[in-house]
Amino acid sequence: MLVFAVCEGLVADARVGCEVKIIAKDPLSQVDRVISDLANFAGRVRRVNSQSVSVAMVGMNLSRAIPSATKVNETYEDKELRGHEALAATRKIEEQLREVYDELLILPFEATNIPPLPFAWATTPRVELEYGSALTRIGERYQARFR
CB count in 10 Å sphere of residue 28: 14
- Domain locations in the chain as residue ranges: 16-146
From CA 133, how far away is CA 130, in angstroms rounded? 5
CA 119 to chain CA centroid, Å, is 17
Q: What confidence score (pLDDT) does residue 79 get?
A: 46
Q: Compare 112 and 120 and report the one with higher pLDDT.
A: 120
Tell me the pLDDT of the chain averaged across its residues: 88
**pLDDT surpassing 70 at residue 50:** yes
Question: Which alpha helices (DSSP H) does the chain contain, by range?
Answer: 27-48, 79-97, 124-146
Q: Compare 68 and 99 and report the one with higher pLDDT.
A: 99
